[in-house]
Structures are given as C-alpha cells and as structure tokens.
C-alpha cells in the first residue's frame, strides 16, 4: 500500500441522538484528538437546549471549535464553515494533533471534503425581487418553480428553506444553469488530509426513534420552551432565519405563536427530528469509505476506538 503522507483527520458523523458527542469526548480523552463541531445549529449562541449542545462541563473536558460563533440573527453558510473548519484543522495539525470533526450537518461535511462550487455573487436587485415574490406568493410557490427548473436541487431542499430557495433561483436566473449542475461541475479540491470517516448510528431504526423521543422529553423538561420564548422576546428573530428553522425551534416557536396547542409540541418536535434523522441517514449511505458502528452496542466506544487505532494509524 502506498504511504499517504497527509496528516490524519477523523470525521465522526451520524444522525441526531446517535451518541456522537459522548463518543467524540471519549476519543479526545483517549487519543488527544481536538474537536471541531459540524453542526449548523450549534454555531448559534443562546441555542443550547434544543441543539443538545455539549454542556459547560463537557466543553471543559473536551473543547469544541465552531460552537457559539454566531448570533441567531446572523446567517452561516457551508462555505463559511469550510473556511473556518479548514483554518482550525490546519492549526490543530500544525501542533501534531489530530482534528476530529463531529456532527450531523451533512452538507457541511460534504462541502468540507469536496470544496465549494464556484457561484455567481448575489445580485441585490434580483434578490430583492425574489424576496418580494416570496412575500407575495409564498415559499411553496417558489419551491414549485424550482421543481420545474431544477428538480434535483428541489428534491433535497425543504419548501420552507427561504435562504436556499432564493439562492437556487437566483443562480439559475443569473447563469441559466441549474444550481445542481454547478454542484456537479465543482472542482474537487485535493483535500489536504487523510480522512477517516466513521458513522455512528443504532442498527435498529426503532432504537433511534426511541432515543429521539427520550431526548426531546429531556429538552422539554430542561426548559426548551422557555429558551425559545427568550429568543422570541428579543424582537429581531423570526422563522425565516436559518437559526429559527432548526428542527425543534420552528415547532416550539409555532407552539408559542398558537399555531397548534402546546400539548402537541412533543409529538411534532419528535416527528420533525425523526424526519431529520432519516435525511441524515440517506446522506450517510452515499458517503464513500464509511466505517459504520452500531451506537446501540454495549462496546460501541471500543469499536470506534479500534477503527481509529487500526485504520488511522
């Protein structure tokens, strides 16, 4: 086998509630890996309970980079994540340590490894026209139009994801080429790390669903609804922001708005989380060279450690 001189980087992926944080902390304590979060919700300050963000005690044991780096009123893109993650990885590797990227935001992981497609810059006038159209006709109408011009992109995009919908339509109007085609054409950069990719997930879907339900109960008991109420009282946040579209937060916001009875929040939130987990698993099945570990196994931590020791050495 040809020796690969690139420094090692570990990517620990998995659906929500699979046990990634505990496993990452154990790897940090066992091998000295330094952790980088791959989570599009944990980047936001003040969103702690609903994101299952590592506690202060956990972060003291194992610091995570790219947590609490944005205000919820701000946006944060996959391209920005890649820039920040690559900078963190370079700094960690320069000290002879191994970067361990842990999370469940699959688009972030994909963009990190494959690079970011060259896209036209935003056009303020066109963007405003699309925003006005979204206000007038609704996001469902914009999504329906995207289905017509770019069914591939539309299939992987939620109809309420305002930011991504408008960007996809903008790119098509500016270039005449669907955004999915831009993604296909993107230049795969020579990733400067020898990547070990591990997927952590229960082998049985029912086990994952049970964990999701239990975790949502823990969040509710821990004051999740009060956390969202505090965010709402700021006055500058709304449901069109990426932060407030995060799974669980949207449902809690709608419960506080009276869209449905608070008694329905648990089931709606757990259902949305199960749907997220299904999408995450679909992404993972397409991920090349992935080492799968059953996180419900009693020795799951040892199995992951064995892969890191044997494959990563």
Above pLDDT 70, what percent of the chain?
96
Mean pLDDT along residues 222-250: 96
Residue 255 lies in a domain: yes
Residue 294 lies in a domain: yes
Residues 51-84 pLDDT 10s: 999 999 999 999 999 999 999 999 999 989 999 9
Last residue of a domain, one of 168, 185, 202: 185
Q: Does residue 203 sit in the same domain as residue 297?
A: yes
**What's the CA gap between 165 and 134, in Å, rounded?**
10
Q: Both 52 and 172 in a single domain?
A: no
* Selected residue with higher pLDDT from 220 and 312: 220
CATH number of the domain that residue 141 is part of: 1.10.20.140
Give the start-end residues of each E strand in the chain.
8-13, 34-38, 64-65, 99-103, 194-201, 290-294
What is the rounded average pLDDT of the residues 109-121? 83
Chosen domain end from 136, 163, 185: 185
Decide if 282 contacts 107 (C-beta within 8 A): no
Residue 1: inside a domain: no
Residue 178 falls within a domain, yes or no? yes
Angle (nearest 5°) at CA 291 between 289 and 293: 160
Q: Is the pLDDT of residue 150 over 60?
A: yes
Number of separate domains in the chain: 2
Are residues 63 and 112 located together in one domain of the fold?
yes
Domain match, 80 and 197 both: yes
Question: Are residues 20 and 157 located together in one domain of the fold?
Answer: no
Confidence of residue 154 (pLDDT cuts 50, 70, 90): confident
* Model pLDDT for residues 2-43, shown as the tens digit of each residue: 678 899 999 999 999 999 999 999 999 999 999 999 999 999
Domain membership of residue 223 (yes or no) is yes
Same domain, 19 and 98: yes
Kindly tell me if the per-residue pLDDT of 289 is higher than 70.
yes
Reported pTM? 0.81
Statement to judge: residues 192 and 96 lie in one domain: yes
Which of 185, 215, 233 marks a domain boundary? 185
Q: Are residues 133 and 99 in the same domain?
A: no
Looking at the DSSP assignment, which residues form a beta bridge with residue 100? 10, 35
42/167: higher pLDDT: 42
In a domain, 3, yes or no: no
Note whether 169 and 215 are same-domain residues.
no
Most confident of 88-92, 115-119, 180-184: 88-92
Instruction: Answer yes or no: do 181 and 213 share one domain.
Output: no
Q: How far is it, in rounded angstroms, from Cα 310 to Cα 173? A: 49
With a CB cutoff of 8 Å and minimum separation 6, the contacts of 70 are 43, 44, 45, 76, 243
Q: What is the mean pLDDT of residues 201-225?
A: 97
Mean pLDDT of the chain: 93
Is residue 173 domain-shared with residue 192, that is, in the same domain? Answer: no
pLDDT at 4: 84
Query: Domain holding 218: CATH number?
Result: 3.40.50.300
**What is the distance between the alpha carbons of residues 189 and 115, in angstroms, rounded to a whole number?**
6
Q: List, in order, residues 6 or more apart from 59 with CB less than 8 Å away.
A: 67
> According to the model, what pLDDT value does residue 117 have?
67
Cβ distance 72 to 47 under 8 Å? yes
Residue 59 lies in a domain: yes
Indicate if 14 and 43 belong to the same structural domain.
yes
Looking from the CA of 259 toward its CB, the CA atoms found within 13 Å total 11
Whether the pLDDT of residue 123 is over 90: the answer is no
130 assigned to some structural domain: yes
What domain range is 146 assigned to? 124-185
């Amino acid at each position: 086998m040809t020796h690969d001189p690139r420094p090692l980087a570990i990517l620990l992926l998995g659906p929500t509630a699979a046990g990634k944080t505990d496993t990452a902390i154990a790897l940090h304590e066992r091998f000295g890996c330094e952790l980088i979060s791959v989570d599009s919700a944990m980047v936001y300050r003040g969103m702690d309970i609903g994101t299952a963000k590592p506690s202060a005690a956990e972060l003291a044991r194992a610091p995570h980079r790219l947590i609490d780096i944005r205000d919820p009123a701000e946006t944060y893109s996959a391209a920005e994540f890649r820039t920040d993650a690559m900078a963190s990885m370079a700094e960690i590797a320069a000290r002879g340590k191994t970067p361990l990227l842990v999370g469940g935001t699959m688009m972030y992981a994909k963009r990190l490894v494959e690079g970011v497609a060259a896209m036209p810059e935003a056009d303020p006038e066109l963007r405003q026209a699309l925003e006005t159209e979204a206000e007038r006709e609704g996001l469902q109408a914009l999504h329906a139009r995207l289905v017509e011009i770019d069914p591939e992109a539309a299939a992987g995009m939620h109809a309420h994801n305002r930011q991504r919908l408008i960007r996809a339509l903008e790119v098509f109007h500016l270039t005449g080429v669907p955004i999915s085609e831009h993604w296909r054409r993107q230049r795969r950069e020579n990733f400067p790390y020898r990547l070990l990719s591990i997927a952590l997930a229960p082998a049985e879907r029912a086990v994952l669903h049970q964990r999701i339900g239990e975790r949502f109960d823990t969040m509710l008991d821990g004051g999740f609804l009060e956390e969202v109420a505090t965010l709402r009282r700021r006055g500058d946040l709304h449901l069109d922001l990426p932060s407030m579209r995060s799974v669980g937060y949207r449902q809690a916001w709608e419960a506080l708005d009276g869209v449905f009875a608070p008694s329905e929040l648990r089931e709606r939130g757990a259902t949305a989380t199960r749907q997220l987990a299904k999408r995450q698993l679909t992404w993972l099945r397409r991920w090349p060279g992935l080492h799968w570990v059953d996180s419900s196994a009693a020795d799951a931590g040892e199995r992951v450690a064995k892969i890191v020791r044997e494959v990563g050495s």
